[in-house]
Amino acid sequence: MGQQALAGAPVDELIGAAVALASRALEVEFASVLELRPESRTLVLRAGIGWRPGSVGRTVLPADPDSHAGYVLRSTGQVVVEDLRADARFGSAPLLTQHGVVSSLSVIVQGKDRPFGILGVHTAVRREFTVHDTHFLQAIANVLATAIDRGHTEDALRRSEEHFRSLIENASDIVTIVGENGVFRYASPSVERVLGYAPRELLERSAFDFVHADDIPRVGEALARAIQQPATPQTAQFRFRAQDGSWRMLEAVGQARVEASGFAQLIVNARDVTERLRQERALRENKERLRTVISGAPLVLFALDRHGVFTMVEGRGLDALGLRPGLLVGRSAFELYADLPQALADVRRALTGETFSSTVEVFGVVFESWYTPVRDAAGVVVGVIGVGTDITERRRAEEALRRSEESHRALVQHAAYAIYRSSLEGRFLTVNPALVKMLGYESAAELLRVDLASEVYVDPEQRRQILARFDAGDIVEGVEVAWKRRSGQRIL
């Protein structure tokens, strides 16, 4: 996502990537970006994951103080909801209630003059979001805010994001009874829903006939341990062939029960974790991709604890400082920035609970940084997370452009010959002192009120002829025209 932002990707594309990444990484059913519409004090669901068809782009929520969205906008940090129905901080949350949301984590996507909106993740089961979850979601919001602030907010097109299917499917447990020889004695009806077999198809057949050859030793060892230790549950993860021939990864817990006859049988609870493992693998890959993006982009992603000590620093932006992440973690920002007053002021400001952006020069490198405080459940600031973008080259280019503009402005103002710029309709836009003097006016302001065609040209038709010549080329030169001064005196 960081590479997309740096490459100038459309805002809609970045917002879509943000909700998708948040949903996958935090393993939730729902994710949303609500865009603030200040003129109507409402928010529109700009992008989302998991909502009912037609919600994205059409759902409009109130931003009044009594609503969940309004409360988030008025907050100074992350807003965590552990139980939506029991939360008394706000009165309504229509979108979340309609979808059965129980727990929620929301952060503000900041803008230069006002919040752009809210980035949120939500789940229909009770969950306690961790500090790491808030760090991750706030990091996404900060990267998104930086991209929007750099020019993509002017994109007026609102495209509805395609709805993604939920990444987490409800797993059904299979209950089986297996003899000490590995033969199925009983299989619950859920085996048909999960693996496609009717229960009778497994009875009196060996479980080892269905287990992947590479996993048979693991399953055999778990079976032997269960028989040797009847009171101790044994766990195993193995591939099991489904009725359609595919391999499903099962996570099983079994405990042996010794009958009066002395024979043992195992009661086994098994759950299909194929999808979960696939998603865990995808999550690891996404985290690695995110780390790769941060490490490969001219950004610095950092986190400080409540004492101002670096707990995390990543990003290629460190290269410009000649630093490596390992050299900063565990060090105090107050010591590192001892000779940098503005950097110290920014850290103190963030630790007081303020969210803001700042441009600061650190060891000769100019960074544009977003600071966001991290709060615990009681609202106390426990740290800061931020994103810094190396804008040194941009600052140098802006300074060179400013100097160039000043130089050209001086040349125009001190030129001995008349220079002006006008509209096609014949109004002066800019004039230099030489032109003001030549036409006999008291000031530039007075001349700017004059109609060029009728009050300066002796013959207005002459100006129309000159304008017509621009149709054949960008430059018209060597033309003699008859003008008149303010006094009416004719000049060539």
Question: Looking up tokens 């974790």, which residue turns up?
Answer: 273
Are both 363 and 227 inside the same structural domain?
Answer: no
Are both 364 and 259 inside the same structural domain?
Answer: no
Question: Looking up tokens 């129980």, which residue turns up?
Answer: 102
Strands 365-375 and 356-362: antiparallel
- Where residue 451 sits, what CATH number does that domain have? 3.30.450.20
C-beta separation of 194 from 272 below 8 A = yes
Domain boundary among 154, 185, 205: 154
Q: What is the pLDDT of residues 285-317, one digit of tens each?
A: 766 666 655 555 567 778 889 999 988 877 776
Give CA–CA dist 433/428, Å, rounded.
Answer: 13
In a domain, 42, yes or no: yes
In a domain, 121, yes or no: yes
Task: Tell me the CB-side half-sphere exposure of residue 291, using CA atoms within 13 A.
Answer: 10
Give CA–CA dist 231/79, Å, rounded.
Answer: 45
Instruction: Label residue 396 exposed, middle or buried (CB < 10 Å: 0-12, 13-18, 19+).
Output: exposed
Are both 66 and 209 inside the same structural domain?
Answer: no
Query: What are the residue ranges in the chain where pLDDT is below 50?
Result: 6-7, 152-171
Are both 309 and 229 inside the same structural domain?
Answer: no
Are both 244 and 338 inside the same structural domain?
Answer: no
In a domain, 223, yes or no: yes
For residue 222, what are its two tokens?
């778990």
Give CA–CA dist 118/81, Å, rounded.
Answer: 14
Are both 209 and 250 inside the same structural domain?
Answer: yes
In a domain, 286, yes or no: no
Are both 227 and 264 inside the same structural domain?
Answer: yes
Count how many domains the chain has: 4
In a domain, 436, yes or no: yes
The amino acid sitting at 150 is R
In a domain, 164, yes or no: no
Are both 472 and 333 inside the same structural domain?
Answer: no
- Residue 437 confidence (pLDDT): 87
Q: Which domain holds residue 435?
A: 415-491
- Residue 297 confidence (pLDDT): 59
Question: Distances from the Cα of 256 to the Cαs of 40, 115, 179, 223, 268, in angstroms?
Answer: 65, 59, 9, 9, 9
Beta strands in 331-449 (DSSP E): 356-362, 365-375, 381-390, 420-422, 428-431
- Residue 400 confidence (pLDDT): 67
The three-class DSSP label of residue 257 is: strand
C-beta separation of 450 from 423 below 8 A = no
In a domain, 50, yes or no: yes
Task: Look at the alpha carbons of 448, 453, 455, 456 in this order and tell me if their dihedral is positive or negative.
Answer: positive
Are both 7 and 148 inside the same structural domain?
Answer: yes
User: Which residues share a beta bridge with 371?
Assistant: 356, 386
Q: What is the pLDDT of residues 410-457, one digit of tens each?
A: 666 777 778 888 888 888 888 888 888 888 898 888 888 888 888 888
